[in-house]
Structure 1
Amino acid sequence: MKEVKKALVVFSGGQDSTTCLFWAKQQFDEVEAISFDYGQKHQLELQVAEAIAVKANVPFHVYKLDLLGQITSNALTNADMEVEEDKPADRPPNTLVEGRNMLFLTYAAVYAKSKGIHHLVTGVGQADYSGYPDCRDEFIRSLNQTLNLSMDYPYEIHTPLMWKNKMQIWQLADELGVFDLVRNETLTCYNGIVGDGCGHCPACKLRRNGLGHYLKDRKLGNG
């Protein structure tokens, strides 16, 4: 009997994780999505994630990790802190949530083991590096080994966007048939605006720049 390949996607409802969700549906027999309520200012992202998971026809789970928002100070959890529009040269941006990807993947791994799932999928990447240390390939490979050892269970963390820039991520979404969904229904904006977002936060600038390059490339027939 053929082995059923199952995957769990760490899912936020943003451009990258949504692209990964549909990539996973193409790669695996069964897919689930997991999100975390970590005290983020924009709870709307959890609603957006659930709506996209329903459209993708995958089971969706949300778990609380709100302690993270209590012990860190950043612009995504602190209502009194404004998102920096330009990345500082001497430190990570103030949207860095310390330890977020490590905790998300660790809790996702615990859940996955309980369900007999060996494959974890996350939308991190370092091609368009934003100064987040927990988006690096080196970190993911290290954590993968740590999870395997800590739970004596063979995980494989997949990062399909690791070496793709935003233009290439738009291209992948188009190839997966979800370009319009990703463009209009995801929430990437640090200021909590669905679709094209506010247009001036770092996440929106990166997304818009990649989209412009991809649409130009597609128009020229190179996509």
Structure 2
Amino acid sequence: MTDISSETPRDAVVLLSGGLDSMVSAAIALEQGYRVNALTIDYNQRHRRELDAAREIARTLGAARHVVLPLDLRQFGGSALTDDIDVPKDGVSADDIPVTYVPARNLVFLSLTLAWAEAIGAQDIFIGVNALDYSGYPDCRPEFISAFENVATLATKAGDGGKAFHIRAPLQFMSKADIAREAARLGLETGMSWSCYDPQPDGKACGLCDSCRLRKGGFEEAGLTDATPYAA
């Protein structure tokens, strides 16, 4: 990635879910000198607690603008996050795509992020996907990110006019432990972020869903403390 910290700040649109990865991605964008415009998608997800986390992160990082865009994917269903399907609690499996996969979520979200980027004249989009410690989602793969970057230029007026879009995925090849270390390096309060797919009635993270297990494992491997309150 190009370091533009010595140049006049230019706009980037950051897809900010409220999770640890998106928080670190947004902080990296700021560190590189971008003016952050944060986009959070309220897709009527089960773990709506992450929307509050996204608002707090955007405010704390000093985002130039934060848009929370409603998009009710419960109308489609097909995922434990958007349908009446139990969130699995029996551990992370690398063999199958889990039921927490939301159909084409990152494709849909990046398309919306691209639309805002083109509207404000930004050519850089940040997304916090990673392809090492994740739940097997196909829309986190490097091949997808690369392909979407090509599509972004082909599908837009800006691209037709010779302006290329860049999809920045600074965590793409980091493990969860690496991401936890990066959060510490950046001086981030990790307790602001929210990863759990199944928040408990008492406000704690379940501690057993794939996302909780990956997060806890990453902090443990990194030898760092996670401020997230876990029920298990």
TM-score per shorter chain, which class? 0.7 to 0.9
* Alignment deviations for residues 161-180 of structure 1 (CA, whole Å, 9 cap, x no partner): 110000000111111111xx
Instruction: Kindly state the Cα deviation for residue 39 of structure 1 after the two structures are TM-superposed.
Output: 1.8
* Alignment deviations for residues 104-130 of structure 1 (CA, whole Å, 9 cap, x no partner): 111110111110111000001111142
Instruction: Kindly state the Cα deviation for residue 190 of structure 1 after the two structures are TM-superposed.
Output: 0.8
Matches within 5 A, 1:172-187: 172-178=182-188, 181-182=189-190, 184-187=191-194
Instruction: Kindly state the Cα deviation for residue 76 of structure 1 after the two structures are TM-superposed.
Output: 0.7
SS of the counterpart of 2:14?
strand
Matching of residue 154 in structure 1 with residue 164 in structure 2: yes
1:162 maps to amino acid: Q
Structure 1's 23 and 90: CA in aligned 2 closer, same or farther, altered over 3 A? Answer: closer
Instruction: Kindly state the Cα deviation for residue 88 of structure 1 after the two structures are TM-superposed.
Output: 5.1
Normalised to the residue count of structure 2, the TM-score between the two structures is 0.85
Matching of residue 17 in structure 1 with residue 25 in structure 2: no
Matching of residue 81 in structure 1 with residue 85 in structure 2: yes
In structure 2, how many angstroms separate the alpha carbons of the residues matched to 1:39 and 1:98?
14
**1:31 counterpart (36, 56, 68):** 36
Matches within 5 A, 1:57-136: 57-58=62-63, 59-66=65-72, 68-78=73-83, 80-85=84-89, 86-87=91-92, 91-136=96-141
Would you say the 8 A contact 1:166–1:211 is kept in 2? yes
Normalised to the residue count of structure 1, the TM-score between the two structures is 0.88
Structure 1's 90 and 209: CA in aligned 2 closer, same or farther, altered over 3 A? Answer: closer
Structure 1's 38 and 112: CA in aligned 2 closer, same or farther, altered over 3 A? Answer: same
Instruction: Kindly state the Cα deviation for residue 136 of structure 1 after the two structures are TM-superposed.
Output: 0.1
Structure 1's 8 and 89: CA in aligned 2 closer, same or farther, altered over 3 A? Answer: closer
Instruction: Kindly state the Cα deviation for residue 197 of structure 1 after the two structures are TM-superposed.
Output: 2.4
SS of the counterpart of 1:50?
helix
Q: Say how many residue pairs are matched.
A: 210
SS of the counterpart of 1:33?
strand
In structure 1, how many angstroms separate the alpha carbons of the residues matched to 2:136 and 2:79?
14
**1:169 counterpart (162, 172, 179):** 179
**2:198 counterpart (156, 170, 191):** 191
Q: In structure 2, list runs of 5 or more residues that go unmatched.
A: 1-6, 225-232
Moved over 6 A (4+): none
Instruction: Kindly state the Cα deviation for residue 3 of structure 1 after the two structures are TM-superposed.
Output: 5.1
In structure 2, how many angstroms separate the alpha carbons of the residues matched to 1:32 and 1:195?
28
Answer with 161-170 or 4-13: which moved more: 4-13
2:186 maps to amino acid: L
2:194 maps to amino acid: L
2:216 maps to amino acid: R
In structure 2, how many angstroms separate the alpha carbons of the residues matched to 1:143 and 1:29?
21
